[in-house]
A and B are shown apart, each in its own frame.
Chain A
Amino acid sequence: KAGVTQTPRYLIKTRGQQVTLSCSPISGHRSVSWYQQTPGQGLQFLFEYFSETQRNKGNFPGRFSGRQFSNSRSEMNVSTLELGDSALYLCASSLEVVPYNEQFFGPGTRLTVL
């Protein structure tokens, strides 16, 4: 079974631009979560989607948004990029069948903001 895929793998943007990252979950997984990982803050939760609905949102500004499509693929968008947005953005999918709710991560998108 193919794992979680994320595109693009690397991205370089300048301040003020916007960016869209894409995530395709493991086949059959309907839940997709997004995380930001930086050396200083570690892994921080951005948001979670299930069946096209945002179920949970972390403590990030409104510049960070996301959506999920009917095929469970998800995108996240960051508008008006700031230098501090440079990070590894990780997507994880899970099956959400009680009690097994392991999340499996994709390879990530490394975003550099200049």
Chain B
Amino acid sequence: QKEVEQNSGPLSVPEGAIASLNCTYSDRVSQSFFWYRQYSGKSPELIMSIYSNGDKEDGRFTAQLNKASQYVSLLIRDSQPSDSATYLCAVRGALWSSGSARQLTFGSGTQLTVLP
């Protein structure tokens, strides 16, 4: 059974600081890694996807992937109060895989609060 682990938090950072969110996964053959942001009462919104080892930057967001350590992280630079939300890490196997390997498996989420 594929597992995705996240620190549940809550994580509080001051406005303007860097927020660091971490995620580990159990299935070594996982191919695709995603970060979703979910505001209270809303549906998850995809903010980053990463497929290769290393860093991927998009605006204030940087996703980092280390497949050898089975670790993926999300850094939010210059955090804003509007970044306060639950951040969900999700992992998926290759499109050609079958069964539970190909389904998107979510961690339980990390609740982030950015203090003004």
Contacts and interface: CB of A to CB of B under 8 A. Distances in A.
Q: Do the two shown chains form a genuine complex with each other?
A: yes
B49 A102 contact: yes
Interface string B2-46: 000000000000000000000000000001101010000011111
Interface of A: 33, 42-43, 45, 48, 55-56, 58, 88, 90, 92, 96, 98-108
Interface of B: 31-32, 34, 36, 42-46, 49, 51, 88, 92, 95-96, 98-100, 102-109
A90 B104 CA distance: 13
Contacts of A33: 103-104
A42 B109 contact: yes
A96 B103 contact: no
A104 B106 contact: no
Contacts of A104: 46
B100 A56 contact: yes
Contacts of B106: 42-43
Contacts of B99: 56
Contacts of B109: 42
A106 B43 contact: yes
Given A43-B44, A90-B43, A90-B44, A103 B95 contact: no
A105 B105 contact: no
Contact of A98 (B36, B49, B95, B103): B95
B18 to A, nearest CB: 25
